[in-house]
Amino acid sequence: MNTCFSSYRSLFPVLGDYVHLASCSQGAIAQPISKAIEEYHASLLSVGTNWEESILKVEATRKKFAEFINAEPDEIAIVASASDAISAVATTLSYHHTKNRISLTDLEFPTAGHIWFAQKHHGADVSFIRSQNGMLPLEQYEKEVTECTLLTFISHVSYHNGFTQNLKKISNIVHHKGSLLFVDAYQSSGQVPIDVREMNIDMLCTGTRKYMLGIPGVAFLYIKKELAEQLQPRHTGWFGQEDKAKFDIYNSIYAYGAKRFETGTPCFISIYAAYEALKLLLNVGVEHIHSYLQDLGKFTREFGIANGLKVATPTASSMYSGMTPFFIDEASKVEKKLKEKRILVSSRKDVIRIAPHFYNTKEELEYAINELVQLVK
């Protein structure tokens, strides 16, 4: 079947050999991204040092990501992983006894729990906002976020069940209670449009290896400018300084805005990849990708259910993403068996996640679900 994205398929070599439905874990790599990785590598081989070009690429990538989420470049720090981005904030906050609660949902990727729990020794009171039937109704935020909440931490799209949240409505609720809102957008960025201004988000993190079409080694931390200026990172280094080229060991002056959250030399090769990936995504348009993936997600759920699979996304919700998880016994074994059949999906605990991107077709989904059904029969 031809889709409005068919012309892009030839950019992704892996699609010739595999049905790639694992964008919630590692998206397919497009030729321009692969070329950028080679370019970085080749420059080291041919010119020996490429520091200046690499620093220029870092700044160009910062600008592109800012454009991607409607922020300003000063509001973006480039870090190594989403966990680093969360830790950078968590280790910076002051946990005063009347304002020390961190409210996070139980649909978070576990790294969030690990990081916030580590702050308990420094005065944080970690409290869960419990999901109900896989969903987080707005009333839960009304109830669980209190005047003591310093920061509310939520995923835009859940890594496990794909539940997608209305960030603007949640930001209104938590701000009304005097809490900051920190969003983990790793499962949404690249498939769901994000506008940090319009959604009124204080902080956001994401990495590039899932729907953002990049590779591991680079993640972004957005912090609203006014807020970043008030924060004094404890996890820091020369890249977080106003002028690292001064090489002044006696003084520490933080860089302006979110950049102060940077530490040491970033992973340049991944940044080369991220720059091209952002260019490609901006070119295709996340709005278009989103509406296409909503359609593919609906198809996946309906076709899976019609073939006897049990979907883990709460069916009563209209807040679907492009990712559809099915409950499967021994999910990780089934993932491996599908890989032998050249079908790439991603398992987590009790589910197999089917996560298409704009380069996939309904035929691929139909084929993969039929094979999955055969395997679990």
Ligand X SMILES: Cc1ncc(COP(=O)(O)O)c(C=O)c1O
Give the interface with ligand X as residue ranges (CB under 6 A). 81-83, 109, 111, 155, 159, 184, 186-187, 207, 219
**Virtual CA dihedral for 283, 286, 288, 290, nearest 10 degrees?**
160
Give the shortest CB-111-to-ligand X separation in angstroms: 5
Is the CB of 26 or the CB of 200 nearer to ligand X? Answer: 26
Q: What is the DSSP letter of 255?
A: P
Give the shortest CB-24-to-ligand X separation in angstroms: 7
Is the CB of 83 or the CB of 172 nearer to ligand X? Answer: 83
Backbone angles phi, psi at 347, to 5 degrees: -100, 150
Q: Which helix (H) or strand (E) holds 182?
A: strand 180-184
DSSP string, 141-168: HHHH--TTEEEEEEESB-TTT--B--HH
Q: What is the DSSP letter of 222?
A: E
Is the CB of 163 or the CB of 292 nearer to ligand X? Answer: 163
Give the shortest CB-271-to-ligand X separation in angstroms: 15
DSSP string, 99-143: B-EEEEETTS-HHHHHHHHHGGGGT-EEEEE--BTTB--HHHHHH
Is the CB of 162 or the CB of 207 nearer to ligand X? Answer: 207
Q: How far is CA 28 from CA 20, 113, 162, 205, 216, in A?
A: 7, 29, 19, 21, 13
Alpha helices in 27-79 (DSSP H): 31-47, 51-69
Is the CB of 22 or the CB of 280 nearer to ligand X? Answer: 22
Give the shortest CB-158-to-ligand X separation in angstroms: 8
Contact 199, 97 (CB under 8 A): no
Give the shortest CB-100-to-ligand X separation in angstroms: 23
Give the shortest CB-52-to-ligand X separation in angstroms: 28
Is the CB of 43 or the CB of 83 nearer to ligand X? Answer: 83
Give the shortest CB-216-to-ligand X separation in angstroms: 7
Give dist(CA 346, CA 253) in Å, integer: 44
| Torsion sign, CA atoms 58, 63, 67, 71 | positive
Is the CB of 207 or the CB of 304 nearer to ligand X? Answer: 207
Is the CB of 92 or the CB of 111 nearer to ligand X? Answer: 111
Give dist(CA 67, CA 77) in Å, integer: 14
Give the shortest CB-152-to-ligand X separation in angstroms: 16
